[in-house]
Structure 1
Amino acid sequence: MPQGKPAGVRCVQLDDDNLCQLFGDARRPQVCLAFDFDAELCGDSRDEALKLITELEQLT
């Protein structure tokens, strides 16, 4: 996504299983390389992750 990805917008590089199609690829953006899974932020499901991330964005 050359212009960046707005919050709440699904990344175009996610496949049907929500896995990054650029994982391990040199074209993967630096912001994605720097992201590390955090169970406290991601929760137990996609819906929970989106809820937690939305709350965090509203606080910052």
Structure 2
Amino acid sequence: MSCRAGCGACCIAPSITTPIPGMPEGKPAGVRCVQLDDDNLCRLFGEASRPTVCRRFEYDRELCSDDREQALRILTQWEQATR
């Protein structure tokens, strides 16, 4: 299986400590990235300005689960466990 279009959990749950266009200080955990559009798609996908951490994140069944709400819960738990 591959990334679910419109999920966006990885653009909300984790913190990102590097600059993102529109978020020069990065983003805190649980905050929606400004580059996530209304359809939960990344506006920077495929662009050089997309943060490295985002480009390296890949779908993983254990993290992303079967639906968006589960993915948000799991990624939030992992974020809290790695603080």
Shared fold per TM-score greater than 0.5? yes
Which TM bucket (shorter chain)? Answer: 0.7 to 0.9
| Identical amino acids, percent of aligned pairs | 67
**Structure richer in helix, relative to its length:** 1
Query: Aligned-residue CA RMSD in angstroms?
Result: 1.2
- Highest RCO, 1 vs 2 (Cα 8 Å, sep ≥ 6): 2
* Number of residue pairs the alignment of both structures matches: 60
Deviation at 1:27, TM superposition (A): 0.9
Distance in 2, Cα, partners of 1:55 & 1:35: 17
TM-score computed with the length of structure 1 as normaliser: 0.84
* Aligned-partner residue type, residue 56 of structure 1: W
TM-score computed with the length of structure 2 as normaliser: 0.64
Structure 1 residue ranges without an equivalent (≥5): none
Q: Which residue of 2 aligns with 1:59?
A: 81
